Structure 1
Amino acid sequence: MKPKKNKYQSKSGEEEEDLSQSVEAHNDPVVTGAQSSSEELAVLIRTILKEEISVVVSQLNIIKEDIASCTRKLVEVDETLSTMDERVTKLETACTALRKANLELKEKAERLEMHSRKYNVRVFGLAKDVEKGNPTGYMSQLFKELFQGKLQSEPDVEIAHRVGPPGNNRAMIVSLQKRTTTAEIIKIAKKEKELLFCGMKLKIFPDLTTEMAKKRASFRETRAKLRDEGVRHGIIHPATLIITFKGETKKFTEHSEADLYVKTVIQQNK
């Protein structure tokens, strides 16, 4: 008979067998080489990761610096824009005030110029050098003969001179001493259209400023439409269009308003 194994002896024997196998495996060159390769690979991977992380961190630091620089520049730009916005607002306010003041000054200058010309008339159709170097004396004599018995008082001429570019049809500006005489002469000239004197066909108009002349000219197209429609109209001093249609009289100082009236009232009710 074989002797029975003690359980303690059996367990100890198994542990000794496992230890023996472990030693054998440790001493096995294949196992040892695999473990060594794994450790080297792990070291290599850690090294590569550290280098890559270092590069990424460096690039992130650069990006952070760029972002910080951009942030500072944006703050500067924002401050500059705010300052510019304030300056633009101030300039707009100043320009509005200057525009208003300029308009007022232009209106005052226009009124003053119109006032200075209220005694004047412009005479067209005079022959070249007919005044023989004495325009004031010549126009004084011309007016006295031309309007003899037609005026309430003598047409005393203050001063006269030619205007416009050199040529054969330069107008003559004549300044009279009395405003009433000027108004009478303009009224007669408007009624007769042309005045004959020594073979010359003369036309006399009020002496308007450039602005008033342009304003009168702006009614040209509207007046052409009114003539085509056979509607009574005219220009009253200095630059107001007066229209009489079906017994109703309208006055316009702006050509756009007059043109709208012709389109919406006259042309639609003819």
Structure 2
Amino acid sequence: MSSSKLKKNSAQTPTTTRASTSIAGKLSAWATTSNDGEDATGSLPATTETISMKQLVAELAKQRAGLKDDVSHLIQESLKPLEAAVGALRDTVGSFQARLVATETITGENFERLTTAEATIKALQAQNQTLLDHVDDIENRSCRSNLRIVNIPEGSENGKDPVKFIGELLVERVGPDVFTEPPELERAHRSLATKPKDGKPARQFVVRFLRYQQRKAALRWSRNHEVKFQGSPLRFYPDLSSALARKRADYNGVKQALYKKGVRFRLMHPAHLVVTFEAQTFTFDSPEEAQEFYKRRVAKE
């Protein structure tokens, strides 16, 4: 290839001069010159001002710095919404923490109040039970001179004064072993209930003796004797409060079992079962204790 042609090509490719403002433009110009002006030996032609290695390094450093600034700016712009969201989240978490602290404080105070209330309730329950026991005891003491007579047919008094009627009945049916004359009674009346229909059990008679010893003697005598009135067997029972009556009734099951086994027992006031077994005396304060004793000792016999 002739030198004139090289000069012509060189004149037509001004892309490798200082007019190039970017490294990309300079590299493009360099590549164009290389393709069009390459001689037979493959060496680069001599241009008016070729790109030196220092310029290339400087241009790359400038581009890297610009790219770094662009990336840093882009990152900062991208982080602004995230920072705002994190700030809002931080405020929300702070609010929740404050509310949690307030809730924990209130919970602690309520727990202390609840503990105090539980202690107070237990004390009141114990006090209430004590008062109930006292009331029940007073009620039963007020009825100590009372006697309940069961199975006196309805209308037997036939318009007589109940006090006079019961006094004559006791003298006639209990006999001179206990009463040589009608006992002194404070009052006598049937239980406060509606008059039963025909064929239904008669209402009980509640009798209050003036003297406790006479009531006690009549009750003791009835336990060993059969008393009848107009063909009906009479039953004598102490007058008890409903609560005490339920406590004593709870022993009925074990009492029946002991009776079938021929074991002697008696129910003591207010609600204690006394059992005589194998020449020993045992006292039980609850039906459960008596039932356990029966299963362990008596049932095996």
TM-score range, shorter chain: 0.7 to 0.9
Match of residue 162, structure 1, among 170, 190, 194: 190
Q: CA deviation at 1:26?
A: 4.6
- Residues 119 and 45 of structure 1: CA distance in aligned 2, closer, same or farther (over 3 Å): same
User: Which range moves more in the overlay, 116-125 or 152-161?
Assistant: 152-161
Report what 2:10 is aligned to.
none
SS in 2 for 1:83: helix
Alignment map for 1:72-151 (pairs within 5 Å)? 72-133=98-159, 134-151=161-178
- Point out the more displaced range, 180-189 or 157-166: 157-166
Shift of 1:44: 6.0
Counterpart selection for 1:200 from 232, 243, 255: 232
State the Cα RMSD in Å. Answer: 3.0
Contact 1:189 1:205 in 2 (8 A): no
Q: Write the distance in 1 (CA, Å) between the matches of 2:163 and 2:66.
A: 121
Size of the aligned set, in residue pairs, is 249
Does the CA contact (< 8 Å) of 1:222 and 1:255 recur in 2? yes
SS in 2 for 1:196: strand
Give the structure 2 partner of residue 240 of structure 1.
272
CA distance in 2 between counterparts of 1:129 and 1:180 reads: 29
Q: Is the 8 A contact 1:122 1:205 kept in 2?
A: yes
SS of the aligned residue for 1:102 comes to helix
Matched with 2:208 is 175
Distance 1:264 1:23, change over 3 A: same
Which of residues 250, 256, 261 in structure 1 aligns to 2:288? 256
Greater Cα radius of gyration, structure 1 or 2: 2
In structure 2, relative to structure 1, the CA distance for the partners of 1:69 and 1:27 (3 Å cut) is closer
TM-score normalized by the length of structure 1: 0.80
What is the DSSP-based 3-state SS (H/G/I as helix, E as strand, rest coil) of the residue aligned with 2:273? strand
Structure 1's 152 and 228: CA in aligned 2 closer, same or farther, altered over 3 A?
closer
Could you state the TM-score of these two structures normalised by the residue count of structure 2?
0.72
More helix by share: 1
Q: Distance in 1 between matches of 2:23 and 2:227?
A: 141
Spell out the pairing of 1:179-190 with structure 2 (5 A cutoff): 179-190=212-223
1:267 Cα deviation from its structure 2 partner:
3.0
Is the Cα contact below 8 Å between 1:153 and 1:181 reproduced in 2? no
- CA offsets, 1:211-270, max 9 Å, x none? 2111111112222332343322232333221111111111112111111212223334x2
Shift of 1:103: 2.0
Bigger mean CA deviation after superposition, 69-78 or 44-53: 44-53
Structure 1 position 24, deviation (Å): 7.3
